[in-house]
Amino acid sequence: MFTSKFGSLPKFYVRAPGRVNIIGEHIDYCGYSVLPMAVEQDILIAVEPVKTHTLHLANTNPLYLDFSTSANNIQIDKTKPLWHNYFLCGFKGIQEHFGLSKLTGMNCLVDGTIPPSSGLSSSSALVCCAGLVTLTVLGMNLSKVELAEICAKSERYIGTEGGGMDQSISFLAEEGTAKLIEFNPLRATDVKLPSGAAFVIANSCVEMNKAATSHFNIRVMECRLAAKLLAKYKNLQWDRILRLQEVQTKLGVSLEEMLLVIEDALHSEPYSPEEICRYLGISLEDLRTQILSPNTQDVLIFKLYQRAKHVYSEAARVLQFKKICEEAPDNMIQLLGELMNQSHMSCRDMYECSCPELDQLVDTCRLELKGHDLLEQDGEAAQYQ
């Protein structure tokens, strides 16, 4: 297909896998550790550097139209999360990291086996692939950790305020093991899963493109606001706090103790922008321009108690999951399954990032599996219905 499209042969190929998160849903952007593993499904790019300064991008899927642009004037339209913009994110991230102005052009053909908008990180895999393509064409070298950090940062050009899990596991994954991914600084630790367990990665077939809506960023902002209100309640410098993990660190308390702080500091009824402003002593204009992201400035209610409760309890479940894997008790499969059940319930009830189809799929699998296998609830497969 590359030859028929460009009339030449590719010089090299680059691959980046998708991922599934076993436990630790929506807590990476709050500063907490997550526990994903890579999947076989991947993004593959065939590449030919060319002497012009033009990027020619094509896709094996006819639904994704060809795109060309100058390699020296990359513009990423946040209002339209078109497929090629994810490639441009990775390209621009490497370009800016090295401070380069004149880049060589290239012909690229993209192929993918990751179902789109299914919660398996097809978009992040494309960003990672594009970053590695650009690095290779330039003849530069970076560590996998550096690449992951650059790609996590550069995917935000598309408008999503993600935390870095997807790019990290795409680069740092190894066969036969899950990884505990920790942030600030980024590092990955092997987590040996029980040999007698089967992980079923099931797709509810409900799609959610997180860059096409504000749903994802609303959750990020709710967590940011919860962190600021908790910091104010505890007399911390709330204006410097962005993540819930920072509040816990500055207070020097356990995750379990943070859950008690929430009960005292936050009410379960949704907060209005006006109430948040009164509590923090700021104007609505300050809230919108200095705290909220552009596509969340008109949100009318924020569920701070529920989001914070999910994050702190989910962060604790990740650590419990790793501990059980390390200690390997006789009933470890049952214990891990119970943690994953709790995770799904919290995603469904506290974080509201499930949907009826996903809930039905989880219920059906639990009935059929009868506790013998672990069901992976694809936490982002069908969010925010």
Selecting among 166, 239, 373, 378, the annotated active-site residue is 166
Please name every residue paired with 201 in a beta bridge, in sequence order, or none if there are none.
Answer: 376
Strand 67-70, strand 35-50: pairing: unpaired
Q: What angle do CA 304, 306, 308 make, to 5 degrees?
A: 65
**What gap in Å lies between CA 296 and CA 301, rounded to an integer?**
11
**Residues contacting 236, CB < 8 A, separation 6+:** 247, 250, 251
Q: Where would I find the H helices in 161-214?
A: 165-172
Known catalytic residue at 330: no
Tokens of 102: 């004149």
Tokens of 196: 């007698």
**What gap in Å lies between CA 56 and CA 109, rounded to an integer?**
8
Report CA torsion sign: 321, 325, 328, 331.
positive
Q: Nearest to residue 343, comparing CAs of 376, 372, 371, 369?
A: 376
Phi first, then psi, for residue 48 (nearest 5°) are: -135, 115
Any idea which residue has 């990032």 for tokens?
A: 353
**What gap in Å lies between CA 67 and CA 55, rounded to an integer?**
8
Please name every residue paired with 12 in a beta bridge, in sequence order, or none if there are none.
Answer: 47
Phi first, then psi, for residue 80 (nearest 5°) are: -130, 95
Neighbours of 289 (CB within 10 A): 11
Phi first, then psi, for residue 133 (nearest 5°) are: -60, -50
Burial class, 148, CB count within 10 angstroms (exposed 0-12 / middle 13-18 / buried 19+) = buried
Catalytic site positions = 166
